[in-house]
């Protein structure tokens, strides 16, 4: 009887906390009040050392907003579908200013159940995560709106979406100084940085509506027509002011698969102003053959109605 009462009380407390989070979600943003007095400079353009790395991503100041063009998910039978009329989110990457990058920088915040790579260049094995999915972290912070958006636009292939999200945080956000736990101050709440990162990814993704930018230039998915690399790059540069990286697979790099938008950021990666740059990575798409921007399998996508 006593045990039953204790269990009931525990469930009631949990339900009360969940309701409170829905009515008044905990904040996720960092404590960056000290940044107000810091010099304003774009990442990778500073001539002196950054004094407070919570104020500007350091290192990792070459910020890439990355997107996928997949044509199927492999989990359609589970309702995991691609967003119609939109590319999908890949991530937000903190490359170093010279184009190199670090990965999986904090094993205490390693939530990736299937790390890739499994072993770092120095030989360190990355321990697979076996705890609750990162989707539960978002729920704990009372953000069903964010979770809904991510399930529409941040879609995995061949595995649950939450595994993809966990991979992106663990591999990249842990190497971004503005998401360091210390930046959230003494009132830090567990997993606050994780939810904050996902919000930042969504903000950056919304800055680059790839599907619409291409469509506005007459470039739409087609199983009959190919496009040149120059056509694709020119269409995107006309709207962003810079040439992104375009990634292609297939024979001779003739199937369009991904885009990376390179940026320097003024301020934090969470809220700072992104300034587009030409890609520092050479495209893997063919410069001599037509490039296929294939239509998706009709049963692999769904209508989404968010304002993009």
Q: Does 98 reside within a domain?
A: yes
Q: How many CB atoms lie within 10 A of CB 39?
A: 11
Average pLDDT over residues 188-209: 98
Specify the pLDDT at position 168. Answer: 98
Average pLDDT over residues 189-216: 98
Q: Could you tell me if 21 and 145 are in contact, meaning their C-beta atoms sit under 8 angstroms apart?
A: no
Q: Does 186 reside within a domain?
A: yes
Q: Which of 90, 167, 191, 264 is catalytic?
A: 90
- 116-163: pLDDT as tens digits: 999 999 999 999 999 999 999 999 999 999 999 999 999 999 999 999
Average pLDDT over residues 213-235: 98
User: Which domain, by its residues, includes 136?
Assistant: 2-302
How far, in Å, CA of 287 to CA of 283, rounded? Answer: 9
CATH number of the domain where residue 133 is located: 3.90.730.10
Mean pLDDT of the chain: 93
Specify the pLDDT at position 12. Answer: 52
How far, in Å, CA of 109 to CA of 104, rounded? Answer: 9
How far, in Å, CA of 191 to CA of 209, rounded? Answer: 28
Q: Does 71 reside within a domain?
A: yes
Q: Could you tell me if 94 and 61 are in contact, meaning their C-beta atoms sit under 8 angstroms apart?
A: yes
Is 172 an annotated catalytic residue? Answer: yes
Position with higher pLDDT, 252 vs 2: 252
Specify the pLDDT at position 21. Answer: 59
> How many domains does the structure of the chain reveal?
1
Q: Does 307 reside within a domain?
A: no
Q: Which of 140, 167, 168, 258 is catalytic?
A: 168
Q: Which of 167, 172, 191, 264 is catalytic?
A: 172
Q: With 70 as the cut, is the pLDDT of residue 45 above it?
A: yes
Q: Does 267 reside within a domain?
A: yes
Average pLDDT over residues 216-227: 98
Specify the pLDDT at position 292. Answer: 98
Q: Does 59 reside within a domain?
A: yes
How far, in Å, CA of 157 to CA of 163, rounded? Answer: 10
Q: Does 16 reside within a domain?
A: yes
Query: Of 66, 96, 70, whose CA–CA distance to 84 is shortest?
Result: 70
- 257-299: pLDDT as tens digits: 999 999 999 999 999 999 999 999 999 999 999 999 999 999 9
- 76-87: pLDDT as tens digits: 999 999 999 999
Specify the pLDDT at position 18. Answer: 54
Q: Does 52 reside within a domain?
A: yes
């Amino acid at each position: 009887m006593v045990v039953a009462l204790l269990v009931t009380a525990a469930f009631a407390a949990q339900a009360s906390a969940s309701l409170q989070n829905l009515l008044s979600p905990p904040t996720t943003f960092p404590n960056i009040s000290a940044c107000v007095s810091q010099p304003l400079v774009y990442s990778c353009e500073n001539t002196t050392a950054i004094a407070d790395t919570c104020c500007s991503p350091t290192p990792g100041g070459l910020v890439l907003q990355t997107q996928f063009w997949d044509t199927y998910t492999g989990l359609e039978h589970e309702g995991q579908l691609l967003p119609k009329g939109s590319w999908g989110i890949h991530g937000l990457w903190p490359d170093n200013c010279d184009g190199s990058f670090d990965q999986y920088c904090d094993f205490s915040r390693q939530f990736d159940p299937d790390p890739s790579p499994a072993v770092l260049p120095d030989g360190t094995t990355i321990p697979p995560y076996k705890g609750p999915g990162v989707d539960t972290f978002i729920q704990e912070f009372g953000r069903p709106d964010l979770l809904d958006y991510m399930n529409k636009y941040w879609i995995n292939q061949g595995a649950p979406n939450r595994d993809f999200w966990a991979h992106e945080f663990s591999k990249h956000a842990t190497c971004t100084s503005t998401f360091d736990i210390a930046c959230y101050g003494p009132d830090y709440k567990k997993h606050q940085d994780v939810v904050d990162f996902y919000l930042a990814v969504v903000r950056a993704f919304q800055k680059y509506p790839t599907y619409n930018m291409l469509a506005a230039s007459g470039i739409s998915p087609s199983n009959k027509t190919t496009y040149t690399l120059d056509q694709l790059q020119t269409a995107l540069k006309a709207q962003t002011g810079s040439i992104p990286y375009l990634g292609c697979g297939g024979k001779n790099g003739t199937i369009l698969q991904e885009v990376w938008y390179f940026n320097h950021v003024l301020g934090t990666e969470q809220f700072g102003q992104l300034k587009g740059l030409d890609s520092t990575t050479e495209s893997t798409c063919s410069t001599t053959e037509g490039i296929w921007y294939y239509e998706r399998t009709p049963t692999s996508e769904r209508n989404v109605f968010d304002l993009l």
